[in-house]
């Protein structure tokens, strides 16, 4: 995390040499009237925060959700600076990447959860938690409407309103059924701990049902047909877990039906795990083939009734149906109703998902942040801003840029537009100068000047690197930590903005924009084999990656308790196998 | 288990010296015409079994239930001798004495269950298991009607009929509400694993509800009022567990409400734990007093609404009410509907509970056995049979018994009427001779003879020792093991009955009657203290008994898996405390 270590070092420097910070401010003021104005404004803001801390109450921060983003935010926030309240339906944080393991009892549900009250207990300031659902965000009045999860007293659920100064939305997403008929009613999802527990019971139910007397072989086969819809990492991991559970544990206990079991994995695209490297996809498809998992790609589910699942062959358009015992639906994520309603309020009604800027601020809404699966960052394109970038860089207003002028803004461009860095990395270049060099600005001709067309052509490709961040725990956790650090340094950065130049405004941004750092991704394939795609296109498949997977997942646990439990669950599974009691 | 080691030794003797068994048979036959007839009858039966094993199918044994009695029966049964089928709603065995620990997460639910299929898998013959509820026992046609637990296919639950030759009923009991209004709807019970899991969630619910904003102190207090109804071992242990959970774990996480928590323990009788030694009762009441658990004895619950619990003071008749957050009802056991229906069929309609004889055979029904909490042994009184006992003992029909004649039947009387042994033990006597001595049969006057009045007066007190066995796991497990051994030796014992003389018939009983051996009982009182009442009136209270409790409960686990899990749960609790996630 270079960004943060830079923050830390800078903040320490300011702390140790208070005169240094003044120096920098003076330097900024001297650089122009408008800049000085902007600085005085931020001074004013800083004073306000200051006075509110002494004269008034602390600013109220309300966090919605206790998933990866929310919990990461809370863990990293200096809660002594704010009056923090958390609203969530779950009074715990769940280590969701292990949910597929919970479905088959490789890991117990309770081993991957940690009460949110326990997580925030060690913090300095008090963080209040309300176990409630946020039913409405009232952006105009800065209020959230909540409803308790359980009935209080006899009659009904408790409703209450929480006021905020800052709102941090981390409510996550819901499963996306693509409005396929019958999915909501007949399929299992795999988003919550309760889902995983239900799936586990359901698998055993299928085996017990298939074992009842007086059934035809057809009926038994139906009960033992497990269908996984969606060939993404979750679906694939669940199919693999289920295969292991069935073949390592259940066949011993249900020997009479073991030849009737079938696992189908349906994927509408051409390949499973299509966000992974081709090598992983091929390996996974071959392994599943050997394991007897029926992988059907190019097959889209069009309807699910209570007894059968209907699929359409993408190539031929042919519709066929198959009876099933259980369907797990894992095809992607959709927007929660409360977010849909909120988007209407703030003029994002025709968007598919809540949009924020690179600082995770919700567009069209003040002091409101959204992170994790419920939002996407609406990145600005370099090409859209190319005019203002050129103007800002062209200090002497000559209409052309000297190499010196370009060098002065290089850092700011790279920071403000994270796609630039990504592009350079892919092209194995060091900085924009290399790009410019490419576009025929000869390094030796340092005197040669660059007009706007040349800059445009140099940067023309960088926006191609823009893509939405994946809806993963890794992204959410990094966003939570990033935002917490912004909140922690809100006051300092009002005074001494540490972000890049505002190309379309004056002064500097308070903070550097969020930048995601990808540490790689795993796809467990069962049989103690895992595919790992690590940064730098490093692909590793097999038993060694499984051990890497074990160690990464153990080390990423939020508490020593869950770490102990997860490891002891793995040990237990190695020794005793998985439990098949229907509880 | 002297009885069984005797069986084993005897059976080995017969096996090693086949001529011996013939010798004994010949001896029996020579002892009289009628006896010879009875023997030939049992020979015939034995041949039948023999032929059925070679020519026909094995006898079908159907076991209803997988609790302590059923599982103990299955574990001890030689399943190669029978065609065994098990019908139960639970596909697992649960170590119920640890249920109170599950309610608060001291032990996890999954740590105390073991799939029944896993338990029976290692056995020689195949044991078939149906996850279904027995809805009706058709005693006349030797069929049980079953209904699957889950819906099979889309529409409805699968119904099927199982035929039996022998039926072993071990369905247990249901909670007894004594028809108190509102109990069924508003109270938690503590009989099943699911109950314990629900209670655990409910405790957390109460704390989360009480922590919501904008509530009055009254409302918070209501949510945090936990009521336990019934001062028996289960109720007391749950109250103690809850107190520990609240004070060791929850107060840290819910500091704002910690002063509003109240635990009430209601008992209609004069004391809690009244089946225990007085010292334990006093200690428990004092400890609970110090802990702040509100023990209300002489207080009977008359009604439970969705917000308040109504109690009647036994002494004054005064009725008062209290708002509550959660009620756990643990006052005793009642008869399941399927057993009620069965009792009507076999002429036991006006009994409170299914009656068996000392061999666990259901009265009024052939080849049907009932054990565990669903049945009680209807012991025969010595005084009722005193006439036939006398006649049988008086071999020379002289109207009086010589000491020799008494000595000849002493063993049979003691075996047939287990209350005799219990009585002698209590009086610290060795055998009936001591009793007779008491009643003025001088030992030196060996020639002196005993008339029926003298025998009556000698045995007049023994029936006072008769009492129903407690509804405990210990009794059920011993009954299951006993019955399995009877089944295992059915053939041998048809030929060579090993039971006592039939006083009211001819010949000998095939088996010795069931005799319960009490190994003591625990009452955990929280704070790492347990009261233990061990045989011989040995009472131990405190931390040392807690460690005894740990070791006994660990050693009694049905599998190494659950043993490992339970111990690791205890370890986990010591290190990390209990989890408060609402899952």
| DSSP letters for A339-401 | HHHHHHHTT-TTSSSEEE-TTSBBTTSTTEEE-GGGEEE-PPPTTTSHHHHHHHH-TT--SSB
DSSP letter for each residue of A150-193? EEETTTEEEEEEEE-SEEEE----EE--TT-TTHHHH-B--SSH
Q: What per-residue confidence (pLDDT) applies to A106?
A: 93
Specify the CATH number for the domain of residue A262.
3.50.50.100
Quick check: B130 and B146 in contact, CB under 8 A? yes
Question: Bigger pLDDT: B24 or A227?
Answer: A227
Which among A110, A117, A152 has the least Cβ separation from residue B583? Answer: A110
Banded model confidence at residue A514, pLDDT cuts 50, 70, 90: very high
* Total number of domains constituting chain B: 3
Q: Is the pLDDT of residue B461 over 60?
A: yes
**Same structural domain, A203 and A298:** yes
Give residue-wise pLDDT tens across range A150-191. 887 666 888 999 999 999 999 999 999 999 999 999 999 999
The whole-angstrom separation of Cα B542 and Cα B7 is: 39
User: Between B473-488 and B68-76, two packed helices, what is the crossing angle to 10 degrees?
Assistant: 30
**Same structural domain, B330 and B420:** no
**Same structural domain, A197 and A314:** yes
**Same structural domain, A328 and A212:** yes
**Same structural domain, A325 and A216:** yes
**Helix or strand or coil: residue B328?**
strand
Question: Bigger pLDDT: B29 or B313?
Answer: B313
Give residue-wise pLDDT tens across range A281-304. 999 999 999 999 999 999 999 999
Banded model confidence at residue A231, pLDDT cuts 50, 70, 90: very high
Q: Which residues of B touch A118 (CB under 8 A)?
A: 253, 580
Q: Which residues of A touch B223 (CB under 8 A)?
A: 152
Banded model confidence at residue A56, pLDDT cuts 50, 70, 90: low
Q: Where is average pLDDT lowest: A20-29, B445-454, B501-510?
A: A20-29
Quick check: B225 and B262 in contact, CB under 8 A? yes
DSSP letter for each residue of B383-413? HHHHHHHHHHH-TT--SSB-HHHHHHHHHHH
Residue at A178 is within a domain = no
Chain B nearest-CA residue for A565: B572
CB within 8 Å: B581 and A92: yes
Q: What is the 3-state secondary structure (H, E, C) of B435-499?
A: HHHHCCCCCCCCCCCECHHHHHHHHCCHHHHCCCCCCCHHHHHHHHHHHHHHHHCHHHHHHCCCC
**Same structural domain, A223 and A323:** yes
Distance from CA of B199 to the nearest CA of A (A): 14
Among B62, B67, B91, B223, most A C-beta atoms within 10 A, so best to mutate, is B91
The domain in which residue A295 lies consists of 183-334+519-576
Q: Which long-range contacts does B403-411 make (Cβ < 8 Å, 24+ apart)? A: B403/B433, B403/B441, B403/B446, B403/B447, B403/B448, B403/B450, B406/B432, B406/B433, B406/B436, B406/B450, B407/B433, B409/B501, B411/B500
Summary mean pLDDT of chain B: 86
**Same structural domain, A221 and A317:** yes
Q: Is the pLDDT of residue B443 over 60?
A: no
**Same structural domain, A459 and A527:** no
Percent of chain B with pLDDT over 90: 63
Give residue-wise pLDDT tens across range A337-381. 999 999 999 999 888 889 999 999 999 999 999 999 999 999 889
**Same structural domain, A392 and A288:** no
User: What's the rounded mean pLDDT across residues B50-58?
Assistant: 51
**Helix or strand or coil: residue B244?**
helix
**Same structural domain, B537 and B398:** no
Other C-beta atoms lying within 10 Å of the C-beta of residue A19:
8
Give residue-wise pLDDT tens across range B416-425. 988 888 888 8
Note whether ipTM > 0.90 here. Answer: no
**Same structural domain, B187 and B296:** yes
Of the three residues B422, B447, B465, the one that is the final residue of a domain is: B465
The whole-angstrom separation of Cα B424 and Cα A258 is: 57
Percent of chain B with pLDDT over 70: 88
* Residues of B (129-188) whose Cβ lies below 8 Å from A: 129-132, 148-150, 152-154, 158, 160, 162
b/e sequence B317-331, b meaning 16+ C-beta within 10 Å: eeeeebbbbbbbbbb
Q: Where is average pLDDT lowest: A43-52, B220-229, B281-290?
A: A43-52
Q: Is the pLDDT of residue B3 over 80?
A: no
Q: What per-residue confidence (pLDDT) applies to B395?
A: 84
Q: Which residues of B touch A579 (CB under 8 A)?
A: 110, 113, 115, 561
Residue at A552 is within a domain = yes
The whole-angstrom separation of Cα A297 and Cα A311 is: 11
Residue at B66 is within a domain = no
Percent of chain A with pLDDT over 90: 63
Of the three residues B445, B465, B485, the one that is the final residue of a domain is: B465
The whole-angstrom separation of Cα B61 and Cα B70 is: 12
Banded model confidence at residue A447, pLDDT cuts 50, 70, 90: low
Residue at B378 is within a domain = no
Which among A154, A197, A560 has the least Cβ separation from residue B306? Answer: A154
The phi-psi region of residue B330 (left if phi > 0; otherwise alpha if psi is between -120 and 50; otherwise beta) is: beta
User: What's the rounded mean pLDDT across residues A411-431?
Assistant: 83
CB within 8 Å: A583 and B117: no
Banded model confidence at residue A110, pLDDT cuts 50, 70, 90: very high
Residue at A64 is within a domain = no
Banded model confidence at residue B153, pLDDT cuts 50, 70, 90: low
Please give the biggest Cα pair distance in chain A.
91
**Same structural domain, B326 and B402:** no
What pTM was estimated for this model as a whole? 0.85
Residue at B272 is within a domain = yes
Q: Which residues of A touch B127 (CB under 8 A)?
A: none
* φ, ψ at A105 (rounded to 5°): 80, 15
Q: Is the pLDDT of residue B8 over 60?
A: no
* β B113-115/B92-94 pair status: antiparallel
First to last CA, chain B: 43
Q: What per-residue confidence (pLDDT) applies to A523?
A: 92
Distance from CA of A65 to the nearest CA of B (A): 15
Residue at A339 is within a domain = no
Which among B109, B148, B254 has the least Cβ separation from residue A209? Answer: B148
Q: Which helix (H) or strand (E) holds A447?
A: none
A576 half-sphere exposure, CB direction, 13 A CA radius: 22
Residue at B3 is within a domain = yes
């Amino acid at each position: 995390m270079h960004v943060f270590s830079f923050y830390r070092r800078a903040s320490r420097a300011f702390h140790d040499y208070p005169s240094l910070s003044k120096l920098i401010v003076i330097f900024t003021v001297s650089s122009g009237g408008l800049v000085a104005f902007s600085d005085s404004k931020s001074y004013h803001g800083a004073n306000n925060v200051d006075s509110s801390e002494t004269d008034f109450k602390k600013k109220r921060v309300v966090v919605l959700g206790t998933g990866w983003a929310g919990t990461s935010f809370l863990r990293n926030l200096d809660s002594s600076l704010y009056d923090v309240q958390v609203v969530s339906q779950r009074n715990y944080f769940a280590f969701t990447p292990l949910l597929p393991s919970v479905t088959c009892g490789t890991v117990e549900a309770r081993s991957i959860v940690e009460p949110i009250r326990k997580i925030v207990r060690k913090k300095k300031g008090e963080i209040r938690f309300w176990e409630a659902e946020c039913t409405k965000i009232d952006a105009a009045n800065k209020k959230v409407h909540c409803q308790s999860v359980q009935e209080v007293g006899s009659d009904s659920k408790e409703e209450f309103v929480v006021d905020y100064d800052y709102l941090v939305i981390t409510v996550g997403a819901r499963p996306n059924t693509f409005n396929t008929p019958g999915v909501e009613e007949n399929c299992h999802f795999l988003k919550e701990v309760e889902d995983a527990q239900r799936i586990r019971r359901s698998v055993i139910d299928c085996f017990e049902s298939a074992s009842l007397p007086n059934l035809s072989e057809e009926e038994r086969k139906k009960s033992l047909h497990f269908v996984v819809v969606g060939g993404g990492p979750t679906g694939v991991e669940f199919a693999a877990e289920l295969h292991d559970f069935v073949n390592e544990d259940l066949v011993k206990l249900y020997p009479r039906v073991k030849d009737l079991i079938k696992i189908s994995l349906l994927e509408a695209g051409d390949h499973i795990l299509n966000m992974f490297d081709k090598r992983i996809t091929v390996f996974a498809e071959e392994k599943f083939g050997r394991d007897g998992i029926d992988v059907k790609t190019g097959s889209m589910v069009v309807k699910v009734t209570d007894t059968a699942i209907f699929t359409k062959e993408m190539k031929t358009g042919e519709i066929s149906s198959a009876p099933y015992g259980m369907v797990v639906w894992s095809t992607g994520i959709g927007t929660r109703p409360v977010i849909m309603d909120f988007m209407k309020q703030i003029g994002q009604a025709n968007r598919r998902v809540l949009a924020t800027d690179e600082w995770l601020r919700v567009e069209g809404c003040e002091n409101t942040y959204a992170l994790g699966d419920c939002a996407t960052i609406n990145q600005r394109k370099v090409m859209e801003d190319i005019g203002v970038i050129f103007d800002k860089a062209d200090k002497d207003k000559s209409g052309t840029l000297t190499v010196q002028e370009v060098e002065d803004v290089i850092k700011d461009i790279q920071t403000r537009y994270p796609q630039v860095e990504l592009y350079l990395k892919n092209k194995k270049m060091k900085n924009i100068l290399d790009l410019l060099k490419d576009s025929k600005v000869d390094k030796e001709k340092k005197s040669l000047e660059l007009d706007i067309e040349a800059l445009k052509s140099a940067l023309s490709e960088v926006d191609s690197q823009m893509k939405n961040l994946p809806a993963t725990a890794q992204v959410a956790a990094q966003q939570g930590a990033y935002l917490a650090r912004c909140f922690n340094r809100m006051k300092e950065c009002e005074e001494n903005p540490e972000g890049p130049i505002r190309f379309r405004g004056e002064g500097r941004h308070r903070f550097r924009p969020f930048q995601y750092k990808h540490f790689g991704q795993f796809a467990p394939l069962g049989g103690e084999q895992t595919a790992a795609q690590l940064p730098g296109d490093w692909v590793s498949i097999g038993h060694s990656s499984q051990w890497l997977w074990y160690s990464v997942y153990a080390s990423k646990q939020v508490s020593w308790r869950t770490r102990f439990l997860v490891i002891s669950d793995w040990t237990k599974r190695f020794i005793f196998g998985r439990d098949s009691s229907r509880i």
